[in-house]
Amino acid sequence: MLEPGTLKIYPASAGSGKTSFLIINYLYVLFNSKDPYEFKKILVLTFTRKSSEDMKTRILNCLHDFSVGKIQKSSYPMFQYLINLNKEYVLTKEKLFYHSKKILNEIFHDFSSFSNNISTLDKFTYRIVRTFLSRKKCSLEMNTHHFIQQVVKNILQKLKISEKWSKILIQFSLEKFQRGQSWNIIKDLQQMIFLLMDENQYFFIKKIENFSFTNFITLKDILTKRIRFFEKKCELQGILFYNFIREQSINENSFIYSDLPRLFDNMKMKKLLVNPFTKRLEKNMKNGVIFSKKYLNNKKNGGFQQKEKIISLYEKTKKFYQKHIQCYLIDKVCKRHLWIFSMIHEIKKECSFLKKERNILLHSELNQILYEKITHFIPKIYETFGMKYQYYFIDEFQDISYLQWENIKILLENSLSENGSSIIVGDAKQSIYRWRGGSVKQFIHLMDSKSKFYKKDIVRLSTNFRSFKEIVQFNNTFYQYFSEVFQNTPYKKIYENVGQNISKKIGGYVEINFFHKMFLKKENYQEYIYHKIINKINKFLLHNQYSLSDIALLVRTNEECNFLCERLMEDEFLVHDPGTVLIKNHIEIQIIINVFEILSHPFSYEKRFSLISLLLKNKFFIRKKNLHNFIETCIFLPLNLFLDKILSKNSITLEKIYNKSIYQISEIIIESFNLFHLNNASCLYSFLDVVYRNEQKNMANSIADFLYHWDSIKDKENIVFSSKNKKNMINVMTIHKSKGLQFPIVIIPFTDWNIFSKKKEGKWIHVDPIFYQGLEYVYIEMKSNFHKNIRNHEKIKHIYNDYILDIILDNINLLYVATTRPIEQLILFSKLENKPSISHYIKNFLNKKNLWNNKKHQYSFGKEF
């Protein structure tokens, strides 16, 4: 129950009814007041639009049921709660029904207030930002990727005509080439723009904004000199060693181990990042164990003197290396990114120009914009929003970013200081949006910290209302094991109290299937698992206990989702809301795009041949008797004649498409090639919808413009499927999209994803500004093998270890979300590999429970039916 001046925090595990809990408290506020306008004082902030819409619908349904005096099954728990717990005044059924009518009436008369006050955090942020831009009606740009593409294109055009920047571009490209990387700088520019827009980097970027281009060039020269000095000195030590053993006629085989020659060889070859002072080498040098017994027996007179000189050289080398290696390591990683940071002012200038020209705000920058405005306009925010709300309800707090919380916190704390009430609900185990700014540490800190300005009350929602007993028990035991994995870290606490009480009836089934390395090829493994899944699905459907809509296949990546969706559709299954069946993968779309490319490049015979290949492959093409001769003669014809030859009727002519829109040209291509049929209707309609949307935004005014735009969006545009008969459709989605949903049966086909993704992640490290021209932080990229290079750098080592912990938590949380979606049955398929993967945690858990058997491939808990 809400208390004035109190922030109530509810750590809530999966299936504990977080949404229902918030709705009950929302209704409690309404009925605890005699004012029918009380709904205007409540602000509910959710993470997704689906959550906010679901909450609005359920609140209105409850109020409707109460107002007509008929309590439906879904509304009955709310009804019971309100009758039993309202202590301010006696709330009888009659009063509840009467009050509901009044509230419902006021909501319908001011529905916009009700709707706006149950909102996503992003939408609420946008509303506040708009109050500062009331005179400028900016539209919100959601497609950040396309915006970045355009910025990069504009920057490259401007830089190429600048003498100063042309030289720098060439120099940077050469440096990349020397490191064995692609000379192309487009990805580097894109990365820099992403950093500028990424709110996780906001405070660090702010610190380097005042660093001028000249400062960066000066710093680069300083770093280059320091790097060269260190490398030259190390190279000299290596040369001295090899000169000495040559003068003394000492063969490399004379050393007891190869560690010592390898050390000085690395010095000479400037291979300095990996620590060459191994434990074995250190121990031997300390004990004076250098030469083999055979060598010492043959060189009795000179062995001792040689040993002393080598130890002396070793100690000098070690002392110099350890003194300078930390600075060298930072200098190397700093210099690698210095060029791109030197362009920060050019990039920001171009971003600002493009936003002003298009009169847009970027969705990804809203939190940063608001944070900057807050420091200058706090009175205006209080006046507009702070005085408006008395109650704040925040859902999915673990997914809220630092800036989002800082932006909303001032309103919430102001409300609490004036005897308002606030509820925060979250689950640290379901924090899976760190890449988008979500901060689980923020949630942990909020629970652990104390406030002088308001009371804080923490109550755990510890009952699982979703899953059957066996599933809850399995998850309780399985995830308790992860508190040991995290040992003495802040994340240990997250999984220490993971156990949930059981609400559902006895039953449920968990099955884990393991497969070994016999399926080495990715395609074969995926196909093998797919057939296993089909067998399971058929088994579920056999006795009419379940329908297809009861089953959900949850995967880690869009690629896996795409594979399953396409294979299921090939086997004539209906797929509900696949989300990741990409338009670009369909042959009809490839034909349309290929025709666009031919129209845009009329003399590209390679593209003509590609089109013919596509048509042949899918029987759109009328076969000729002598196909080889036909292709040879038609491929070099003028464009009109070429198109006429490959089409038996409805030929495309340049006159037909002249002065037509991209949408109209698309329709002409579909008609001319006879591409439309019932099985591909969704695919073609989805593509035409993409064309229409982009025409409305004036993003593509010519075929060339559209092709450029298509290249930037083709990996994100999916087919929109009709779902009229959901009962006969199987659910396929990524784990991220399954959050908040539940299904009777959940199958996780590929529970063996790699812990470390290929995506590079950057971190900032604090440095002494004296050595970096006033720069306090430098940017470094984290890599999976980074630990080999940082043994001698405690600061980077600490940052890297934190990064590894974050990565592990991300993956365990992702698994937690997946395994807590089922109501009755959970089926996992996993491949055991040597690389760090999620399957190792499952195996180690089974091992710890003394269940693991190398000859056993299936483990089950509970009864299947």
Q: Give residue-wise pLDDT tens across range 67-91.
A: 887 777 777 777 777 777 655 556 7
Name the band, by pLDDT with cuts 50, 70 and 90, for residue 529: very high
Stretch 8-32: mean pLDDT:
90
Lowest-pLDDT range of 244-258, 617-631, 650-664, 750-764: 617-631
Q: pLDDT category, 851, cuts 50, 70, 90?
A: very high
Please indicate, yes or no, whether residues 226 and 268 belong to a single structural domain of this protein.
Answer: yes
Give the tokens for residue 277: 């002072």
| Structure-block tokens of residue 318 | 């070690």
Write the CB contacts of 416 (distance below 8 Å, at least 6 apart in sequence).
Answer: 5, 6, 7, 422, 453, 454
- DSSP characters over 601-649: STT-HHHHHHHHHHHHHTT-S---TTHHHHHHHHTTS-HHHHHHHH-SS
Nearest-angstrom CA–CA distance, 14 and 17: 8
Predicted model pTM? 0.82
**Residues 36 and 159 grouped into a single domain:** no
- What is the pLDDT at residue 863? 86
The two structure tokens encoding residue 45: 């902030």
More confident: 544 or 306: 306
The whole-number average pLDDT for the span 635-652 is: 76
CB-based contacts of 842-851 (< 8 A; 24+ apart in sequence): 842/512, 842/751, 843/514, 844/481, 845/478, 845/481, 846/512, 848/481, 849/477
* Range from 114-123, 140-149, 165-174, 517-526 carrying the lowest mean pLDDT: 517-526
pLDDT band at 748 (very low <50, low <70, confident <90, very high): very high
Higher pLDDT, 641 or 749: 749
Percent of the chain at pLDDT exceeding 70: 89
Render pLDDT for 408-422 as a digit per residue (tens, 0 to 9).
888 888 888 888 999
Q: Which residue has the higher pLDDT, 136 or 390?
A: 390
| 12 and 88 part of one domain | yes
Domain-ending residue, one of 358, 391, 415: 358
The distance in angstroms from the start CA to the end CA of the chain is 41
> Using CA atoms, how far apart are residues 101 and 92, in angstroms rounded to an integer?
14
Residue 746 is encoded by which pair of tokens?
Answer: 């959940």
Q: Identify whether 147 is part of a domain.
A: yes
Find out whether 248 and 313 touch, Cβ atoms under 8 Å.
no
- Cβ(46)–Cβ(52) under 8 Å? yes
In sequence order, which residues have a C-beta less than 8 Å from that of residue 662 and are 6 or more positions away? 691, 694, 695, 700, 703, 706
**Where do the H-state alpha helices sit in 110-162?**
111-116, 121-132, 144-160
Return d(Cα 348, Cα 151) in angstroms, integer: 10
Say whether 848 sits in a helix, a strand or coil: helix
313-355 residue pLDDT tens = 999 999 999 889 888 988 988 888 888 888 888 888 889 999 8
Residues 374 and 349 in one domain: no
**For position 153, what pLDDT does the model report?**
85
Average pLDDT, the chain: 84
Coil vs helix vs strand at 865:
coil
pLDDT at site 518? 61
Helix (H, G, I), strand (E, B) or coil at 534: helix
**C-alpha dihedral over 42, 371, 799, 180, to 10 degrees?**
120
In a domain, 498, yes or no: no
* Confidence band of 398 (pLDDT split at 50, 70, 90): very high
The answer to whether position 495 is within a domain reads no
3-state secondary structure of 297: helix
User: What's the pLDDT score for residue 797?
Assistant: 77
When computed from its CA atoms, the radius of gyration of the chain, rounded to whole angstroms, is: 33
Q: How confident is the model at residue 804 (pLDDT cuts 50, 70, 90)?
A: confident
In this structure, the strands spanning 761-766 and 139-141 are: unpaired
Q: What does the pLDDT read at residue 236?
A: 95
Nearest to 405 by CA among 140, 129, 121, 123: 121
pLDDT at 149 over 70: yes
Are 158 and 283 in a shared domain? Answer: yes
Domain closes at, from 358, 390, 425:
358
Which residues have CB under 8 Å from 505's CB, separation 6+? Answer: 468, 469
How is 231-252 classified by DSSP, letter by letter? HHHHHHHHHHHHHHHHHTT--G
* CATH code, 541: 3.40.50.300
How far CA 666 is from CA of 338, 673, 713, in Å, comes to 45, 11, 17
- pLDDT band of residue 394 (cuts 50, 70, 90) is very high
- Cα–Cα distance between 553 and 578 in angstroms, integer? 10
Amino acid at 772: Y
Instruction: Return all residues near 249 (Cβ < 8 A) that are at least 6 apart.
Output: none
Q: Do both 399 and 537 map to the same domain?
A: no
- Both 282 and 198 in a single domain? yes
In angstroms, rounded to a whole number, what is the distance separating the alpha carbons of residues 775 and 701?
Answer: 45
Query: Residue 796 belongs to what domain range?
Result: 761-810
The model's confidence at residue 698, banded by pLDDT at 50, 70 and 90, is: low
Specify whether the CB–CB gap between 514 and 528 falls below 8 A. no
**Average pLDDT in the 485-505 region?**
85
Look at residue 789 in the predicted model and tell me its pLDDT. Answer: 57
Q: Which has the closest alpha carbon to 562: 533, 585, 596? A: 585
Question: pLDDT by residue (tens digit) across 593-614?
Answer: 988 888 888 888 888 888 888 8
| Number of helical (H) and strand (E) elements in the chain, helices listed first | 35, 19
46 forms bridges with which residues in the sheet? 120
Residues in CB range of 810: below 8 A, 6 or more apart: 432, 434
Note whether residue 481 is domain-resident: no
In this prediction, residue 10 carries a pLDDT of 93
Contact predicate 556/814, CB 8 Å:
yes
Domain check: are 832 and 803 in the same one? no
Assigned domain for 480 exists: no
Examine the domain organization and report whether 330 and 425 are in the same domain. no
Q: Are residues 275 and 407 in the same domain?
A: no
- The reported pLDDT for the residue numbered 604 is 83
Asked if 727 and 548 count as a contact pair (C-beta separation under 8 A), the reply is yes
Q: Which residues contact 506 (CB under 8 A, 6 or more apart)?
A: 468, 469
At 386, give phi and psi (nearest 5°).
Answer: -60, -40
Nearest to 708 by CA among 148, 150, 142: 150
Q: How confident is the model at residue 241 (pLDDT cuts 50, 70, 90)?
A: very high
State the helix-helix crossing angle for 303-342 and 186-197, rounded to 10 degrees: 70
User: Would you state the pLDDT for residue 791?
Assistant: 56
Same domain, 393 and 515: no
- Residue 473: pLDDT over 60: yes
Residue 270, pLDDT > 60, answer: yes
For residues 211 and 775, the answer to whether their CB atoms sit within 8 Å is yes
Model pLDDT, residue 624: 56
Residues 225 and 321 in one domain: yes
Residue 374, pLDDT score: 76
Element at 30 (helix H, strand E): helix 18-31
User: Region 755-767: what's the mean pLDDT?
Assistant: 80
Residue where a domain terminates, one of 810, 826, 848: 810
pLDDT of residue 786: 61
Q: Which string of DSSP letters, residue by residue, matches 753-795?
A: -BSS-SS-EEEEEE--GGGTTT--EEEEEE-TTGGGG-TT-HH
528-544 mean pLDDT: 90
Q: How many domains does the chain have?
A: 5
Which of 7-11, 72-76, 527-531 has the lowest average pLDDT?
Answer: 72-76
| CA torsion angle 482 486 490 495 (round to 10) | 10
Q: How confident is the model at residue 377 (pLDDT cuts 50, 70, 90)?
A: low
- Does 502 map to a domain? no
Least confident of 206-215, 250-259, 377-386, 457-466: 377-386
Place of tokens 């390591």: 329
Q: What is the pLDDT of residue 621?
A: 55
Mean pLDDT over residues 235-249, rounded? 91
How many angstroms separate the CA atoms of 164 and 171, rounded? 11
Q: Give the tens place of pLDDT for each residue, 561-579.
A: 888 988 888 788 888 754 5
Residue 39 lies in a domain: yes
